[in-house]
Amino acid sequence: MDLRGKPDIKISEHCEKHESKEIVSWCPVHDVGVCAECQGNDHSDCDGVESVSEIASIAQLNSDFKTLKIKFGNIRKVYKKLQREREGNIESVKTQKVQIRDEIRKLRENLNYHLIELENKLISQLDKTCEKYATNLSGEIIDYKYRSAVLDSHDDESAKAKEYGSNLQIILAAKKGMAIAKHEVEHLTKLNETIRNYSVEFTLAEAIKDVLNIKSLGSVDTIEANAYVNLEMLNINPFLPSIKTVKPKTSIENKEDNRWHRTRLKRSKEFNMNTSLDKFLPEVSGAAFMPDESIILADTAHKRLLHVKDKGQIFQEVSLPFEPFDVAVLGNSKLFISMLNDRRVDVRDISTMEQIDELILPSNASGLNAFEDSLLVVVCEKTGLYLVGSDNSINIISMKHNDEGPVDINAETISYAETKKCLVHSYTHSGKRKFTLKVDGFGYIHGIALLKDSSILVAKLSPGRHSITHISQDGKDKMLRLELNEIASPRSLAVHRKKRKLLLVHGVRKISIFQEL
């Protein structure tokens, strides 16, 4: 005998609005059971209202319950999947937190190291300056002591002559003393015009004043992305944005366009620059592949070029009389170097690194690149881009208000980024603009590269942030490259067209080489 009795059933048979009245119908529009009064007053215009007495048989309801059980099971699976994904998301955020903390720590270490180098340089300069002036002053003091000793000696001789000498000795002592006095007065008169007091003063650089006023090294932001789940098994219509289906064209060009984001980059090499030739860490502002696949770097901070072999060895260092901004290699013979805040572009022989020519532009030059026999130069201040041919012909792509920044060129496209505005421009060789877009987020753009399909990689220098953005050929799509998401502080990008190699300079002295697949 079952003595448990009937369990309490929480499904009410009474109307929610009129608790004393029994439910007689079901409204599918509002998904609620209603009494006769509610049906007549509130649900008379609702479609599909069913009388509970006319709903299908118990057998049919049992079939519905089986279907409902399956659907509930599928819904639970979706929620469990969402639960696992959210838990995984929490773990990935924790991992990212550890990585970003490590990047912040490395940034602080690099800043500390650089500050120590600057401190040592200033102290060395202070020591040399003080030693120089102390030496000068010490020499003057020795001269003063010597001249005073001459006067003392003559005083002694004059005193002895007056007491024990002849009249002639007394006369000569007086005359000689007058001559000495005359000579010393003349010397002091001349000395008085040149004598100087020295003091040592320390002046803080304006750039450092700005740094001291910085309230933050960066920002930590969340990046949200849609994470839709497959709801087809539920046979319901989820609230998803409508997707417009466009039938793709069958041309090879459009097939390439549809695959822009699938371009694979395989890391083939990574090494640190060996800076044993100089205690100062390089501040790379431009990079290029040499004909032998070695690398040439522009080090702005220390006014030099660094020629780096594939294992990071700096086998050639070229001192420059100016601060280099960017470099470009044209053919097998010429190296072009733009100068920071200068209209000139230095032209050098690759084999000797000696200057052979100089280009003078209408305003400051910045980014450089080359393709086949043409040189591409970014000319700032309401000028634009200069495409210089081997016959010295110039094709000008005019721009109204363009700033300094990196540039790249291939057989079809010119891509150029304005560093501080974070604007990316794409043009044809004839100067027709394809698109202009802004890369959002903290930091400045320091590198740009065209891949083999003319999609664009943009390197944004943002302390503590991953910022290698991949932009489609038409500029309509952009994404972060997953295989590059561990790279912090990217500086310069360069491409070897024939070998399909991508050069990335990042961090303080790290170089990575990728192969386009």
Name the CATH superfamily for 255-516.
TolB, C-terminal domain (2.120.10.30)
Split at pLDDT 50, 70, 90, the class of 322 is very high
Least confident of 204-213, 295-304, 374-383: 204-213
Least confident of 239-253, 323-337, 469-483: 239-253
Look at residue 250 in the predicted model and tell me its pLDDT. 35
Look at residue 272 in the predicted model and tell me its pLDDT. 81
Degrees to nearest 5, angle at CA 26 with 24 and 31: 145
User: Is a pLDDT exceeding 60 seen at residue 153?
Assistant: yes
| pLDDT average, residue stretch 182-193 | 89
The C-alpha atoms of residue 415 and residue 227 are separated, in whole angstroms, by 32
In tens, the pLDDT along 372-425 reads 889 989 888 767 899 988 777 888 888 877 888 999 999 999 999 998 888 999
Nearest to 468 by CA among 488, 450, 453: 488
User: Is a pLDDT exceeding 70 seen at residue 437?
Assistant: yes
468-471 and 456-461 beta bridge pairing: antiparallel
Structure tokens at 334: 């010429």
Look at residue 224 in the predicted model and tell me its pLDDT. 64
Look at residue 196 in the predicted model and tell me its pLDDT. 82
Q: Provide the mean pLDDT of the chain.
A: 82
User: Is a pLDDT exceeding 50 seen at residue 70?
Assistant: yes
The C-alpha atoms of residue 43 and residue 33 are separated, in whole angstroms, by 11
Q: Which residues make Cβ contacts (< 8 Å) with residue 375, sequence separation at least 6?
A: 328, 330, 336, 368, 369, 387, 388
Look at residue 260 in the predicted model and tell me its pLDDT. 55
User: Is a pLDDT exceeding 50 seen at residue 127?
Assistant: yes
Helix (H) or strand (E) run with residue 362 in it: strand 355-371
| pLDDT average, residue stretch 318-347 | 92
| pLDDT average, residue stretch 415-436 | 91
**More confident: 452 or 204:** 452
Decide if 409 contacts 369 (C-beta within 8 A). Answer: yes
User: Is a pLDDT exceeding 60 seen at residue 495?
Assistant: yes
Helix (H) or strand (E) run with residue 217 in it: none
Q: Give the whole-number percent of the chain exceeding pLDDT 70.
A: 85
Look at residue 338 in the predicted model and tell me its pLDDT. 94
Helices (H), 202-287: 206-212, 252-258
User: Is a pLDDT exceeding 90 seen at residue 197?
Assistant: no
The C-alpha atoms of residue 439 and residue 487 are separated, in whole angstroms, by 18
Look at residue 436 in the predicted model and tell me its pLDDT. 92
Degrees to nearest 5, angle at CA 473 with 472 and 475: 65
User: Is a pLDDT exceeding 70 seen at residue 54?
Assistant: yes
Split at pLDDT 50, 70, 90, the class of 5 is low
In tens, the pLDDT along 237-287 reads 433 333 333 333 333 333 334 455 567 788 888 888 875 544 566 788 899
In tens, the pLDDT along 21-48 reads 999 998 988 889 999 999 988 898 888 8
Split at pLDDT 50, 70, 90, the class of 231 is low
Decide if 260 contacts 455 (C-beta within 8 A). Answer: yes
User: Per-domain residue ranges for the chain?
Assistant: 255-516
Q: Give the whole-number percent of the chain exceeding pLDDT 90.
A: 27
Look at residue 405 in the predicted model and tell me its pLDDT. 92
The C-alpha atoms of residue 259 and residue 220 are separated, in whole angstroms, by 32
Backbone angles phi, psi at 54, to 5 degrees: -100, -5
The C-alpha atoms of residue 80 and residue 78 are separated, in whole angstroms, by 5
CA dihedral 438, 441, 444, 446 (to 10 degrees): -70
**More confident: 401 or 369:** 369
Three-class DSSP category at 194: helix
List the end-to-end C-alpha distance of the chain, in Å, as a whole number. Answer: 76
| pLDDT average, residue stretch 70-85 | 87
Q: Name the CA radius of gyration of the chain, rounded.
A: 41
Is the pTM above the cut of 0.75? no
